[in-house]
Copies of this chain bind each other. A is one copy, B any other.
Amino acid sequence: RINKFTILHYSPFKAVWDWLILLLVIYTAVFTPYSAAFLLNDSEERKRRECGYSCSPLNVVDLIVDIMFIIDILINFRTTYVNQNEEVVSDPAKIAIHYFKGWFLIDMVAAIPFDLLIFGSGSEETTTLIGLLKTARLLRLVRVARKLDRYSEYGAAVLMLLMCIFALIAHWLACIWYAIGNVERPYLAHKIGWLDSLGEQLGKHYNKSDASSGPSIKDKYVTALYFTFSSLTSVGFGNVSPNTNSEKIFSICVMLIGSLMYASIFGNVSAIIQRLYSGTARYHMQMLRVKEFIRFHQIPNPLRQRLEEYFQHAWTYTNGIDMNMVLKGFPECLQADICLHLNQNLLQNCKAFRGASKGCLRALAMKFKTTHAPPGDTLVHCGDVLTALYFVSRGSIEILKSDIVVAILGKNDIFGEMVHLYAKPGKSNADVRALTYCDLHKIQREDLLEVLDMYPEFSDLFLTNLELTFNLRDETAKVHIKSYIFFFP
């Protein structure tokens, strides 16, 4: 449906073109002020210019830039865009309207080829005027700025960018600084302008009779840049310094701009450093809380060490992120899918879950909790109430009765009690301890019963298939038939 001259905004051609235009804009941003300030006022340059437009390589590049900018406008009229409803618009009329409302004006002004328009009259005034008018091209930078927005998340990119902007502004100010010195020089009664001082310093004195006397362009540009940098970074060596009033006023402006720019660099670096530290800071705050807890409760050393080790292990394991909170952040249907994935091995391989319907498996997956136990950790103490059924998925576990190992369980083993047989949870008749780092799937008694209740057809299957590797229920424990009886009702 799309016209063959229409360019998709995500096509590779457009991407390459955008980067090309970006390069040209940067070229313009650098060379337009430079040529406006340094070259136009220069005698040799003026001569070169008089000899014709096409003979200099710089002018050829300028011509190419002019043409490219005009082509870019045409291309923009044929490039699709995404509207507010997230639809790609390819209708030329709509594109044109969208472009007119947006960047057209800036692109237009930046693309006017002033050189060609005022061509012919080669007087000094005209060339200066052209130089000033061509600074309109810097408007294009606004458009680049928006493009760079997406890199704002990367601290280093922001810093690089800031340094580039810093350098660019220093370059512009250097151009202005030169222009001030150059314009003012002939009218100064006392030769105290910075260019005169520079000539003095370098031993290249200005000579009234010789127009080409004085420092070279390179000398002047480097010195101007050096001055603006030393002002902007607040170093201020002072061997190049403002002496006339206009130089001083300009210098005040540069200092003001410099302090703001410097402050923004500092602010950014501060922000980046704080982002760098945020992880460490979170860890230390939590560690401090644990240490304070230990100090507060005067927890003695074996237990104390366990607490600290657990904390450190948990942190390196999860990076201090509450995985459950992240899970809860997703909508329920995604949660179920995640839980299915997490318990995939268990639900697929364990005999007990064979024959369960998809819905039933989803319901079960949502109920399972995965626990991670370090070696030596006692999962169930003898006498504890058996509130859950455990499925071992990694590592090995020992079962101890009065400190004698009665069983060692491994992958795919199940321990707990036959949940469905009893109305009330029983008590454990043994200690269960992790031998290595273990991963366990655990389902609460109530949750399991609820699912079984909901899926009666699965319930029968499950009860037939479930084979406990070790039944923890203490059958000798006194059965309490009725709840406590009070003397006074």
Contact B241 A163 (CB under 8 A): no
Inter-chain contacts of A481 with B (CB < 8 A): 489
Contact B484 A459 (CB under 8 A): yes
* Bound Cα distance from A273 to B263, whole angstroms: 10
Give the size category of A's interface with B. Answer: 35 or more
A348 within 8 Å of B by Cβ? no
Inter-chain contacts of A290 with B (CB < 8 A): 326, 329
* Bound Cα distance from A116 to B201, whole angstroms: 46
**Which of A70-78, A90-98, A417-425 interfaces with chain B?**
A417-425
**Which of A17-25, A48-56, A354-362, A390-398 interfaces with chain B?**
A354-362
Q: Which of A152, A204, A255, A317 is packed against the most chain B CB atoms within 10 Å?
A: A255
Contact B488 A341 (CB under 8 A): no
A263 (CB) vs chain B CBs: closest residue = B269
Question: What's the nearest-Cβ distance from chain B to residue A309, in Å?
Answer: 10
A16 within 8 Å of B by Cβ? no
A341-379 interface bits toward B, Cβ cutoff 8 Å, 1 = contact, 0 = none: 110000000000000011110110000000101000111
A44 within 8 Å of B by Cβ? no
A179 within 8 Å of B by Cβ? no
A407 within 8 Å of B by Cβ? no
Inter-chain contacts of A273 with B (CB < 8 A): 264, 267-268, 270-271
* Bound Cα distance from A300 to B457, whole angstroms: 32
Inter-chain contacts of A486 with B (CB < 8 A): 420-423
A135 within 8 Å of B by Cβ? no
* Bound Cα distance from A371 to B274, whole angstroms: 37
A1 within 8 Å of B by Cβ? no
A100 within 8 Å of B by Cβ? no
A383 within 8 Å of B by Cβ? yes
**Which of A105-113, A125-133, A223-231 interfaces with chain B?**
A223-231
Inter-chain contacts of A239 with B (CB < 8 A): 238, 241-243
Inter-chain contacts of A385 with B (CB < 8 A): 359, 363, 454
**Which of A30-38, A138-146, A275-283 interfaces with chain B?**
A275-283
A478 within 8 Å of B by Cβ? yes
Inter-chain contacts of A306 with B (CB < 8 A): 334, 337
* Bound Cα distance from A166 to B337, whole angstroms: 53
Q: Which of A166, A225, A271, A362 is packed against the most chain B CB atoms within 10 Å?
A: A271
Inter-chain contacts of A284 with B (CB < 8 A): 153
A248 contact from B223, B241, B326, Cβ within 8 A: B223
Q: A268-B273, A269-B267 are in contact. Are A333 and B377 (CB under 8 A)?
A: yes
Contact A341 B299 (CB under 8 A): yes
A259 contact from B189, B259, B265, B423, Cβ within 8 A: B265
A262 within 8 Å of B by Cβ? yes
Contact A326 B293 (CB under 8 A): yes
* Bound Cα distance from A456 to B383, whole angstroms: 12
A147 within 8 Å of B by Cβ? no
A266 within 8 Å of B by Cβ? yes
Question: What's the nearest-Cβ distance from chain B to residue A317, in Å?
Answer: 8
Q: A289-B326, A371-B331 are in contact. Are A245 and B222 (CB under 8 A)?
A: yes
A382 contact from B329, B359, B423, Cβ within 8 A: B359
Contact B238 A255 (CB under 8 A): no
30 sample A-B contacts, Cβ–Cβ < 8 Å, listed by A number:
A153-B284, A190-B202, A229-B252, A229-B256, A230-B251, A233-B255, A234-B235, A235-B236, A263-B270, A267-B272, A274-B274, A290-B326, A293-B326, A297-B341, A310-B330, A310-B331, A310-B334, A311-B330, A331-B371, A331-B373, A333-B378, A336-B381, A358-B382, A359-B381, A359-B385, A359-B428, A362-B383, A422-B487, A423-B486, A479-B488
Q: Taking A260-B269, A293-B327 as given, write out 5 further A-B residue pairs in contact, using a Cβ cutoff of 8 Å, ordered by the A residue number.
A: A266-B267, A267-B272, A271-B274, A296-B319, A333-B379
Shortest beta-carbon contacts, A-B, top 5: A359-B383, A190-B203, A235-B236, A238-B238, A267-B273
